[in-house]
Amino acid sequence: MSETMKDYSEKRDFHRMTMNSEIELTDSNGVAIPGICRDLSGTGMQLYVERAFAEGDEIHTLLPSTSEQFPPFETVCRVLRCVPDGDGFLLGMEIVKVKR
């Protein structure tokens, strides 16, 4: 890892938690799209989806609960980047609002 990369990663305000959880996205037209949440932090998430989104698109997400003790995690996110990855796309998402 280069010194520049190391410096940048250490400046993150929130720890990034690696996941591989199913997540449901809803686009601005109300269409539900399945995806995989690859990682999650206090300010954003990285998602794998089968279709491209534009930078700036607002998407609602629902991460189902894995336990009775925790409610589902619902957010409104903004697409920061969308890059091809295998048969789909990796989305860099900024969490704009946590619904619950």
* 8, pLDDT greater than 70: no
d(CA 100, CA 96): 13
Q: How many helices (H) and strands (E) does the chain have?
A: 1, 6
Instruction: Report whether 96 contacts 78 (CB < 8 A).
Output: yes
Instruction: Report whether 90 contacts 40 (CB < 8 A).
Output: no
Instruction: Report whether 23 contacts 36 (CB < 8 A).
Output: yes
Local structure of 6: helix, strand or coil: helix
Written as one letter, the residue type at 19 is M
Domain ranges of the chain: 17-99
- The predicted-structure confidence for 18-44, as pLDDT tens digits, reads as follows 888 999 999 999 999 999 999 999 899
- The predicted-structure confidence for 38-94, as pLDDT tens digits, reads as follows 999 989 999 999 999 999 999 999 999 888 888 899 999 999 999 999 999 999 999
In CATH, 17-99 is 3.30.479.30: no
Number of residues assigned to the chain:
100
